[in-house]
Amino acid sequence: MSEPERPDTSADDRAPTRRRALMLGAVTASAVVSIRPALAQTAGSVLACEIPVPDAGRAGSYIADDGSVVPAGTQGAYPAPGRPFKGQEVKQALAGGQLPGTTWESNRAYVNYIRRLQRGQGGFTCFASLQMPRG
């Protein structure tokens, strides 16, 4: 299929056909936004949610200082806390408080674990809902 000839808007005497303007835009200004599913909204109205540390699939592992999950018994890492943390407890810890039953060091390890949660891991939805403004 061939493109029809379009008259140039410059030197021609006849009335030119104007093409619509189009800008390719700045390299850094994205032209595409993808909609992400919003499950955290639901969790936000399930007021009392829990975050297990670590998730059930890795129960028995230890948590290192930086929040990564390491084999049980690893030097310098902390055993998992005895129970999942409630949303309220985590919210306070994220605001500078301390998770119940922890030392300064183990608290830091657990909080780092929680901060690193990704979608699909146990506790992520609860964690995401805590970040929503106004509860």
Partner 1 sequence: MRHRFDVRIGPAGFRVGSDWRAPVEQLAALYSDYPKPENGVPDFTVRLTAPRPWRRWLRPSVAIAGDYMLPEAAPLPLRHGLLAAEMAMNLQMALGWRRHLLLHASAVEKDGRALVMSGESGAGKSTLAALLATRGWRLMGDEFALVHPRTGDVHAFPRLVSLKNESVAAMAAEVGEARWGPLLAGTPKGDIRHLVPGPAAIAAMDTPARPMLLVFPRFGFAPAVRTVPPSEAFVRLTQASTNYTALAEDGFKALHRLVAEVPSVAIDYPDGAAALALIDELVP
Partner 2 sequence: MIYRAPPPSALLVEPLDAFTAVFHRPSGITHLLVPPAPQILAVLTEGLTREALMQRLAAEYDLADADPVALAARLEELVDAGLIRAE
Residue 15 near partner 2 by CB under 8 A: no
Shortest Cβ 9–partner 1 spacing (Å): 31
Query: Under a CB-based contact definition with an 8 Å cutoff, are residues 7 and 16 in contact?
Result: yes
Sheet of strand 78-79: strand arrangement: 69-70, 62-63, 78-79
Residue 30 near partner 2 by CB under 8 A: yes
Distances (CA, A) of 103 to 30, 43, 81, 113, 132: 45, 29, 11, 15, 28
Shortest Cβ 106–partner 1 spacing (Å): 21
Query: Under a CB-based contact definition with an 8 Å cutoff, are residues 63 and 69 in contact?
Result: yes
Which of partner 1, partner 2, none has residue 38 at its interface (CB below 5 to 8 Å by kind)?
Answer: partner 1
Instruction: Give the contacts of 98 (CB within 8 A, at least 6 positions apart).
Output: 104, 107
**Closest CB to partner 1 among residues 77, 123:** 123
What part of residues 110-129 is at the interface with partner 1 (CB under 8 A)?
A: 122-123, 125-126
Q: Name the site residues for partner 1 (rule: CB under 8 A).
A: 33, 35, 37-39, 41-52, 84, 86-88, 122-123, 125-126, 132-135
